[in-house]
């Protein structure tokens, strides 16, 4: 992803999991027409409005996501996390979130509860500070605003 500004005390990590690099062309009826670059732009704008800096990372690899969560402990005040399909499979990602004790806002662009049954369970939700589902890419803005209020408290 793009180069990020130096972490500050008020940097947050926006982390996207597998297949989210395909946003814009991937099942647009489900995920909309905004690309991941558009999402990054909206995250930067939303964070700047809250006085927060952003690190932005997308990976298709579970281990890379785990490493990013671990690294965030030293560089970020919280994480906005769309784990993609790993939401429904990954105890390792849930353990990473629990292990770093940073506030994590779980985001899903689509309303996973309206979709296949295998998308109804999340390993991440029990360790997330909040969950935003089905608000489209606007969910990232909502997550950043909520994370900002947590970080301010």
Contacts of residue 54, Cβ cutoff 8 Å, sequence gap at least 6: 4, 5, 11, 12, 13, 14, 40, 43, 44, 47
The catalytically annotated residue of 86, 108, 123, 140 is 108
Subset of residues 43 to 82 that bind ligand DQA, contact rule: CB under 6 A? 82
Specify whether 140 is catalytic.
no
Residue choice 119, 125, 130, 138 for contact with ligand DQA (CB under 6 A): 119
Minimum CB–partner distance for residue 17 and ligand DQA (Å) = 7
Residue 110 in the binding site for ligand DQA (CB under 6 A): yes
Cα separation of 139 and 146, whole Å?
A: 10
Candidates 6-14, 42-50, 53-61, 103-111; binding stretch for ligand DQA (CB under 6 A): 103-111
DSSP for 35-89, please give it.
Answer: -HHHHHHHHHHHHHHTT-EEEEEE-S-HHHHHHHHHHHHHH-S-EEEE-GGGGGT
Residue 89 in the binding site for ligand DQA (CB under 6 A): no
109 is in an annotated binding site: yes
The Cβ of residue 107 has, within 10 Å, a number of other Cβ atoms equal to: 27
State the binding site for substrate: 82, 88, 95, 109-110, 119
Residues that bind ligand DQA (CB under 6 A): 19, 82, 84-85, 87, 108-110, 112, 119
List residues with catalytic annotation.
Answer: 31, 108
């Amino acid at each position: 992803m793009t180069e990020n500004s130096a972490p500050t005390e008020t940097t947050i990590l926006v982390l996207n999991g597998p297949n989210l690099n395909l946003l814009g062309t991937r099942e647009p009826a489900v995920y909309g027409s905004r690309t991941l670059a558009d999402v990054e732009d909206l995250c930067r704008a939303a964070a700047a409005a809250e006085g927060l800096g952003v690190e932005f990372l997308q990976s298709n690899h579970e281990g890379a996501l785990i490493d990013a969560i671990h690294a965030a402990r030293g560089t970020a005040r919280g994480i906005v996390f769309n784990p993609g399909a790993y939401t429904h499979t990954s105890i390792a990602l849930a353990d990473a979130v629990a292990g770093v004790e940073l506030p994590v806002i779980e985001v899903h662009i689509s309303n996973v509860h309206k979709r296949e049954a295998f998308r109804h369970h999340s390993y991440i939700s029990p360790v997330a500070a909040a969950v935003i589902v089905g608000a489209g890419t606007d969910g990232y803005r909502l997550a950043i605003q909520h994370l900002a209020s947590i970080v301010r408290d």
